[in-house]
Structure 1
């Protein structure tokens, strides 16, 4: 297991506990009491660290290499029922954007989300979770198919941003994202959006318009990453922690500003420390959100969605 810099006190205590247990197994010395004391201190340290996380520390947790990605959630939630669909019917299949049909219980959903890689090879294959225009066009094609058959849409956001390469711009990156935002506002089926990792810029917003928007506890959602913000304002990445605080990008900040509707609680230490519990919590949140919208007519859904977004950013003095 990998530890972040602020998690080093936890690492030290876990190593002490492991050594203590080994001594107990390999000798006749009774170390039960000592192990209990270390365990008690470990629990207290974890609680102290994770209840006082800064915005930058939450950004680091959202990028943890062991954190589950979109396909992990879909496979855990849907099991064998998931059928991945490919291609935008125009250019090619974007591996950074995945989507397909899956079931939770007896209810079908169209799942769409950005997928990152686990090692160097898969990260290159998935383009680090940064979709090209064909990725957004594939997402829109799947949403339109879901609309045709009355299937609700679930989008899982986890991207450092849309791919900023020259070829992406040549193929209309900005238009593809703008088109998705427009079409999602008037999609006639429920849309449930969950930020499961990084929710950066238009790359996230391109599949981020929803009737119910939720964020996992240790994720972020912002127009720009803290590093990029720091490099623009201070010409250096050294001020990324200060930028993270100023951007108000955490789930708590987003909920306070009414950009998102709910925060999904993570296990102590982050989603990667107890994947099964996280998957179950996310699955339950999807079902609960769908229950809120399943009886609304298409017209009510669209009107409520437009009204929801129209109210964002309005200040009443």
Structure 2
């Protein structure tokens, strides 16, 4: 029996995977289309996968905006609602892959998987990894094992969930890791090999109905709170990337309490691996003290993901109780 033909829609946003040399500057810039990227992959046509190609943006990953991702989410939703596509692949710059993946995941309400990929080496470098990453991403998007998995990141033949993946190196082709969890699988011998259960899915959030500004404040040694006070009145919500399990200098406590009385303030860890605690330490500026003063613990979510979740909730006018409950959904 011949396997049914699978259909995968590919959306290209730009990034290193699509970059070539700019004669004017000598540096690389996004220039290749989605068609160019797919044409550079040997052997892909042998798998009988029907590709629907969308040249969506040509931007560095660092220049993507909420508007770009909201438009992408709407385009994906329209494509998947038709029912004749088995999966989605997105190519983009690696600078913001972990944020794009998480943003899309919290809004994803379809069974078909969405695979985000990119490249650490541009096409003009020796040993570019873009073709191999895109090849693996297309195979993953077409694989029925990943139905219901939400949004995943595939690079270096590894499959990572949107909740856990981090870019952990500036240049290595193996830059993407899932601290504390590891990849859920790999692509080998042209098929997906799962190594862990697929992530638990939560109800998707609706797309934003209006803008919401969420700040990110990273605590550092010797912090006197001056820069923290500068956020007052300038944002609708704030994420604090605290020391360790959720600690800040004592001199920041009163400022954070005042802010938390006016806007949602989420307590995350700047480490990006492991949970914010809720009841172990009791000194002024500890996690227990800050939660008692009104801060919302982010649990295992890193500060970048916590910012995206808080922004999405505030853009739907969620109240403090709803926000607090939603962050508990993302416990591992």
Output the TM-score relative to the length of structure 1.
0.30
TM-score normalized by the length of structure 2: 0.29
The structure that is strand-richer by fraction is 2
Larger helix fraction of residues:
1
